[in-house]
Amino acid sequence: MSLFGTDGVRGLVGSEPITPQTVMKLGWAAGCVLCSKGVGNKVLIGKDTRISGYMMESALEAGFSAAGVNVSLLGPMPTPGIAYLTRTARASAGVVISASHNPFHDNGVKIFSSEGTKLDDPLVADIDQKMLESMSCVKSAELGRAERFSDAQGRYIEFCKSTFPSNLDLSGIKLVADCANGAGYEVAPRVFEELGADLLTIANEPDGFNINADCGSTHLNALREAVIESNGQIGVALDGDGDRVLLIDENGDVVDGDRILYLLATYRKQQDTLGGGVAGTLMTNLGLEQALARLEIPFVRTNVGDRFVHEVLVNHDWLLGGENSGHIICLDKNTTGDGIVAALQVLEVMLETQKPLSELVADMTLFPQVMVNVRVEGADAKKLVASKGVVEAAKAAEKELGADGRIVLRPSGTEPLIRVMIEGNDHHQVDRLTNQIADQVKAAM
């Protein structure tokens, strides 16, 4: 069984696989595989603001050193910043210590290739295989060295600013940024301020425990209130590792990842810079698919996870894709989802069109969509999804919805959850059917 899920290795700190021993061995295994493939022996390690990041950083450093791999430590850094620096610093790989939008007691490890993309499946399989071996250590003279990376944040800040047109600035824009008490708590405010925004920042005082706690892209109430009270024109909510972004418009309404994709795709088509079509996932709202169809913009769905969106974009030679959760990939800007860069793309459209955010997304109607997450700690999620009661409830719901709705029933790749999602024309019907299936999942446990 692979150690890696949809988005790397993730779990509860202190429980396998997020223990000092296993994390150290993971660093060793990854280092050995990279060296054996001739990829090189320089790895960057960055992290978010969780208290456990210190422990995991030290464990990974020890593992890579034992494999003879040199390490550069970035400190707190958004995931897309680590991808960018891995690529531009000519590193062999970039390692992210983060559990993204999860609470502080979770943590994880994900690895970028030298190109700043998620590792391909063969390399992941090789690392999994190496984890089955006993850990060893190179000779003392061959041990890897560790050093601090000079001005990592400054370099990423300059990169973010470079993705914004040089003939524009944010002066006159009242912007509220929610940094989720996470990896973007220093970087994001500096980017927006240096571009001239009238900035109000919230959730930018991490203490190791408050990452994603009632803030960030998974908890938008504080940002909504701040936008309304300050008469803001836009609210920007990052998640804990800065690769997601959701927005609040000037009226206090949420602009999710699907609406961000619609806004960017519409503007890019008008400017003849779209570069093909748009990639979404199984969770993408049917409203986006229909809105893009009206604009004659091709659309493809893939499995949930930004790595799958990236694969589709590369295979189709497209530039724009993402998830409704706020992973927005602009391949002409960065190799992975980048919350700050995506927000800057939206701000560019607002400035160039002189339209408020609410107006830019008004033509897209979202279908009512309800998702229930059923916690299945210790249970086999795949067996639960395939159990008789759950399958029958899903078939009955599909029959009732007909052609006007969709059902997505799947185990989460990052948490011990089964996600039940239904969308259709009638919110009450969608809510009822979603809870009926969720109840069957609970009964099957």
Q: Quick one: pLDDT band at residue 1, thresholds 50, 70, 90?
A: low
Contact, 200 vs 234, CB < 8 A? no
Helix axes 286-294, 257-271, angle to 10 degrees: 10
Contact, 278 vs 318, CB < 8 A? yes
pLDDT digits (tens, 9 = 90+) for 254-269: 999 999 999 999 999 9
Question: CA distances (Å), 142 to each of 21, 30, 37, 38, 148, in order?
Answer: 22, 17, 17, 16, 20
Tokens of 198: 């009238």
Q: Which of 52, 65, 92, 100 is catalytic?
A: 100
∠ CA 72-74-79, nearest 5°, is 120
pLDDT attached to residue 235: 98
Ramachandran sector of residue 93 (left: φ over 0; alpha: ψ -120 to 50; beta: rest):
beta
pLDDT attached to residue 378: 76
**100 is a catalytic site residue:** yes
Residue 372 contacts by C-beta under 8 Å, 6 or more apart in sequence?
Answer: 419, 420, 421, 434, 435, 437, 438
The H helix count followed by the E strand count for the chain is 15, 18
DSSP assigned state of 104: T
Residue 413 pLDDT greater than 80, yes or no? no
Residue 60 contacts by C-beta under 8 Å, 6 or more apart in sequence?
Answer: 23, 24, 26, 27, 45, 71, 95, 97, 109
Buried/exposed code over 4-37 (b: 16+ C-beta within 10 A; e: otherwise): bbbbbbbbbbeeebbbeebbbbbbbbbbbbbbee
pLDDT attached to residue 36: 77
Tokens of 273: 């810079």
Query: From CA 380, how far away is CA 403, in angstroms rounded?
Result: 31
What are the domain boundaries of the chain?
9-150, 162-253, 255-338, 369-443
Tokens of 360: 């830019």
Rounded to an integer, the average pLDDT of 58-78 is 97
The domain 9-150 belongs to what CATH superfamily? Answer: Alpha-D-Glucose-1,6-Bisphosphate, subunit A, domain 3 (3.40.120.10)
**DSSP of 130-143:** HTTSPP----GGGP
pLDDT attached to residue 400: 93
Residues in the chain: 445
Span 162-253 CATH architecture? 3-Layer(aba) Sandwich (3.40)
pLDDT attached to residue 322: 98
Helix, coil or strand: residue 199: strand
Output the pTM of the full model: 0.91
pLDDT digits (tens, 9 = 90+) for 163-195: 999 999 999 999 999 999 999 999 999 999 999
Higher pLDDT, 436 or 39: 436
Query: From CA 9, how far away is CA 18, in angstroms rounded?
Result: 8
pLDDT attached to residue 104: 97
Alpha helices in 354-444 (DSSP H): 357-360, 381-385, 388-401, 427-443
Residue 72 contacts by C-beta under 8 Å, 6 or more apart in sequence?
Answer: 42, 43, 44, 45, 89, 91, 146, 147, 148, 149
Strands 278-281, 320-322: pairing kind? parallel
The yes/no answer on whether domain 369-443 falls in CATH 3.90.550.10 is no
pLDDT attached to residue 39: 64
Q: In what order do the strands lie in the sheet with 198-202?
A: 198-202, 174-178, 234-238, 245-248, 254-255
Helix, coil or strand: residue 221: helix
Contact, 444 vs 384, CB < 8 A? yes
| 162-253 and 369-443 share one fold | no
The yes/no answer on whether domain 255-338 falls in CATH 3.40.50.460 is no
Rounded to an integer, the average pLDDT of 140-145 is 96
Query: From CA 252, how far away is CA 227, in angstroms rounded?
Result: 7
DSSP assigned state of 118: B
Rounded to an integer, the average pLDDT of 328-349 is 97
